[in-house]
C-alpha cells in the first residue's frame, strides 16, 4: 500500500514500506532508485537538532556522525567535525547528500527527492512527506563543524516513478502538535477506535482555512474514515 503524508507507521511498517529488514541509519542516500530516505526527530532527547522553518514547508536537517567502526576505537564522533569523506576517500552519507545539493545548485540536475519519516514516539513514526534537497551549509555548533541540509516540501511523489502532485495550501503539522494529538486521541481513530492504518487528519482542511498549528484542528483517523471524509470534501 502506498503511504501518504502524515500516515502513522510502526517501525516494522516503515521498514516494509522501504523493502528493507532494518533502517539503522538516519541518512540513506538512494535507498530507492527514485529517492533517498532520512529519519528525523524533534523530540527533546534526539541526538541531532532537526527543525521545521516558520514557512511550514521547509525542513532543516542536521547531518549525521560517522560510526567508530569507520575509524578506530579511540574515535569519538561527537568531538569531531562531521566528515564528508572517510579516511579511504569514500563519501559518507553526508558526502552523498552534499554532492546532490551541489549538483542541484550548479543546475546540473533536478533536486534530489528525499522521503522523510519522523519519529513521534518510540515505535511510532509518521511519514512527513517527499522533499526536494535544495541546499546545505556548514555551521559551527560551539564545539565542532556540522552539516545542515535544507529540504523543501516537493511537488513530486514516488509511486512507480516520480510524478507531479500539487502542494498548494499544504503545511507540515509540527512535531509537538502530532505528539499532543497522539496522546489526546490515545493512539486510535476518534470515530471507530481502530489502532491500525492511522493518519493525522485536519478536521478543517488546510485548503479551506484550517490550521496545522493547533491540535484542536488535527485528529487521528483510520484509513477507512479518512477516505470517507475525503470523498465528502468538495
Q: Minimum mean pLDDT among 48-62, 90-104, 123-137, 203-217: which range?
A: 203-217
Tell me which CATH code domain 8-167 carries: 2.30.280.10
Range(s) for CATH 2.30.280.10 in the chain? 8-167
Is residue 146 a contact partner of residue 84, using CB atoms and an 8 Å limit? no
113-122, 136-145, 207-216: range with lowest mean pLDDT: 207-216
Q: Are 147 and 52 in contact (CB under 8 A)?
A: no
pLDDT at 231 > cutoff 90: no
Residue 220 and residue 188: Cα distance in Å, rounded? 6
Query: What is residue 156's predicted lDDT score, i.e. its pLDDT?
Result: 82
Question: Do residues 58 and 152 lie in contact, with contact meaning Cβ atoms separated by under 8 Å?
Answer: yes
Rounded Cα distance, 96 and 164, in Å: 25
pLDDT at 37 over 60: yes
pLDDT of residue 4: 79
The per-residue pLDDT for range 82-118, each reduced to its tens digit, is 999 988 899 999 999 999 999 999 988 899 999 999 9
On average, the pLDDT of the chain sits at 87
Amino acid at each position: 500500500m502506498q503511504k501518504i503524508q502524515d500516515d502513522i507507521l510502526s517501525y516494522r511498517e516503515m521498514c516494509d514500506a522501504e523493502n528493507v529488514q532494518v533502517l539503522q541509519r538516519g541518512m540513506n542516500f538512494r535507498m530507492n532508485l527514485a529517492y533517498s530516505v532520512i529519519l528525523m526527530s524533534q523530540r527533546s532527547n534526539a541526538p541531532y537538532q532537526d527543525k521545521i522553518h516558520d514557512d511550514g514547508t521547509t525542513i532543516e536537517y542536521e547531518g549525521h556522525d560517522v560510526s567508530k567502526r569507520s575509524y578506530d576505537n579511540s574515535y569519538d564522533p561527537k568531538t569531531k567535525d562531521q566528515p564528508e569523506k572517510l579516511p579511504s576517500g569514500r563519501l559518507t552519507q553526508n558526502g552523498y547528500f552534499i554532492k546532490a545539493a551541489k549538483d542541484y545548485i550548479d543546475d546540473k540536475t533536478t533536486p534530489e527527492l528525499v522521503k522523510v519519516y519522523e519519529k513521534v514516539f518510540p515505535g511510532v513514526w509518521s511519514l512527513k512527506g517527499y522533499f526536494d534537497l535544495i541546499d546545505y551549509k556548514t555551521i559551527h555548533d560551539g564545539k565542532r563543524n556540522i552539516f545542515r541540509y535544507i529540504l523543501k516540501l516537493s511537488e513530486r511523489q514516488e509511486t512507480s516513478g516520480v510524478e507531479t502532485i500539487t502542494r498548494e495550501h499544504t503545511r507540515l503539522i509540527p512535531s509537538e502538535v502530532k505528539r499532543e494529538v497522539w496522546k489526546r486521541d490515545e493512539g486510535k481513530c476518534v470515530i471507530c477506535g481502530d489502532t491500525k492504518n492511522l493518519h493525522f487528519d485536519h478536521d478543517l482542511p488546510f485548503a479551506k482555512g484550517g490550521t496545522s498549528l493547533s491540535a484542536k484542528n488535527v485528529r487521528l483517523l483510520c484509513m477507512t474514515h479518512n477516505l470517507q471524509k475525503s470523498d465528502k470534501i468538495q
